[in-house]
Amino acid sequence: MNIDNIEAFVYVNHYGSFNKAADALYLSQPSVTSRIQTLERDLDAKLFERQAKGVQLTDTGKTFLPYAQQILQTYRKGKLHLQKKPSVPQELRIGSTVSVSTYIIPELLPFLKGLFPELTFKLMTATTDELGARLLEQEIDIAFVRKLTHPSLRSYPLYDDPIRLYVYDSHPFAARGRIELSELAGEKLVFFECGSLDWLRLHRVFESLEQPPDIVCHADQSETAKKLVLGRAGIAFLPGVCIREEAAKGRLVPVEIAETAGISLQTSLSVRSGEYAELVEAIRSFQAFSMIE
């Protein structure tokens, strides 16, 4: 009997849905269905009944559930004991999103090296979903990501990065500091698309305008969008972490808009449950996180 099939059974019961269980396990829905079907053949019993609002256990499934949960728990405890990692590894494999890799990692690594002189690093940049999968496959040790929810992972919020409108220093908005949303109509806008739900909130704000901004460029990198604004190609909504130096020098100026206040990106530290406690505490103490605003 395959432990992956038992895990799929426990997850489908927990989430009440094959699709939600597939998301939590970083699998496709057909893969989860196949695992359940294989388990049902092994047990020669039907475990779930499909209903309008999801799936429910059959009587046989209810009988088998506590045994499946115990098997999975025992397996995980045994695996954790055999693969127990030291609180600080010799080589730390770090995964991070592009913004963290560009603006945070260069400051964080010297800080960690000062605390753990023997520590070496291996870096990987990818999307939150890809990093979550690699963390579960033990291909990386820690991940700096937007948000991950999985029973085998532990996540620690590090900082919220406000998204504000930034203009170049000679733009008419720069001297005012605050504008009405309607004043964006017709403005040339460089739009940085990072795929977060918080960025979708900006799209919804634009939909309320009779005349939307003139989006002259969609950029998938914040650094590209920032340089376009510095080159006066347009103005842009940007996360604060990427413009700290330019804002401090007055080259980029934040402009407040009531309808976009409170939009931010949260970055968290994710690790496998029970691993690297000393390292996690060290990272959470990194003071640069408190300076992002």
The 10s digit of each residue's pLDDT in 100-135 is 999 999 999 999 999 899 899 999 999 888 999 999
**pLDDT score for 194:** 60
Task: Find the mean pLDDT for residues 147-159.
Answer: 86
Q: Which residue has the higher pLDDT, 174 or 210?
A: 174
Using a 10 angstrom Cβ sphere, with 0-12 exposed, 13-18 middle and 19 or more buried, the burial of residue 78 is exposed
Q: Which of 187, 179, 201 lies closest to 232, judged by CA?
A: 187
Residue-range definition of the domain harbouring residue 76? 3-82
Residues 166 and 253 in one domain: yes
pLDDT band at 264 (very low <50, low <70, confident <90, very high): confident
**pTM given for the model:** 0.64
**pLDDT score for 83:** 55
pLDDT band at 197 (very low <50, low <70, confident <90, very high): low
- Cβ-count burial 162-191 (b if 16+ within 10 Å, e if not): bbbbbbbeebebbeeeebeeeebeebebbb
**pLDDT score for 66:** 92
Residues 182 and 257 in one domain: yes
pLDDT band at 159 (very low <50, low <70, confident <90, very high): confident
CA geometry: angle at 245 spanning 244 and 250, to 5°?
95
Radius of gyration of the chain (CA): 24
Using the predicted structure, report yes or no on whether residue 215 has a pLDDT greater than 80: yes
DSSP secondary structure of 81-118? HHTPPPSS-SEEEEEE-HHHHHHTHHHHHHHHHHH-TT
pLDDT band at 250 (very low <50, low <70, confident <90, very high): very high
Residues 78 and 146 in one domain: no
Task: Find the mean pLDDT for residues 60-82.
Answer: 83
To the nearest 5 percent, what fractions of the chain are helix, strand and coil?
45, 25, 30
Residues 109 and 165 in one domain: no
Residues 146 and 274 in one domain: yes
What angle in degrees, to the nearest 10, is found between the helix axes of 3-15 and 29-43?
A: 110
Q: Which residue has the higher pLDDT, 191 or 44?
A: 44
Contacts of 207 (CB under 8 A, 6+ apart): none
Using the predicted structure, report yes or no on whether residue 292 has a pLDDT greater than 70: no
C-alpha neighbours within 13 Å on the C-beta side of residue 1:
18
pLDDT band at 291 (very low <50, low <70, confident <90, very high): low
Lowest mean pLDDT among 42-46, 62-66, 277-281: 277-281
Distance between CA atoms of residues 216 and 191, nearest Å: 8
**pLDDT score for 214:** 84
Residues 36 and 180 in one domain: no
Using a pLDDT cut of 70, give the percent of the chain over it: 92
Task: Find the mean pLDDT for residues 192-215.
Answer: 72
Distance between CA atoms of residues 129 and 70, nearest Å: 29
Residues 206 and 224 in one domain: yes
Number of domains forming the structure of the chain: 3
pLDDT band at 225 (very low <50, low <70, confident <90, very high): very high
Q: What is the DSSP letter of 150?
A: -
Residues 147 and 286 in one domain: yes
Residues 66 and 100 in one domain: no
Q: What is the DSSP letter of 267?
A: E
> How are beta strands 236-239 and 214-219 bridged, if at all?
unpaired
CATH classification at residue 147 = 3.40.190.10
Q: How many helices (H) and strands (E) does the chain have?
A: 11, 11
Distance between CA atoms of residues 238 and 254, nearest Å: 9
Using a 10 angstrom Cβ sphere, with 0-12 exposed, 13-18 middle and 19 or more buried, the burial of residue 149 is exposed
**pLDDT score for 122:** 95
Last residue within a domain, chosen from 34, 64, 82: 82
**pLDDT score for 85:** 54
pLDDT band at 275 (very low <50, low <70, confident <90, very high): confident
Residues 224 and 168 in one domain: yes
CATH classification at residue 42 = 1.10.10.10
Last residue within a domain, chosen from 62, 82, 102: 82
**pLDDT score for 196:** 55
Q: Which of 118, 229, 124, 111 lies closest to 166, judged by CA?
A: 229
Instruction: List pLDDT tens digits, range 234-243.
Output: 999 998 888 9
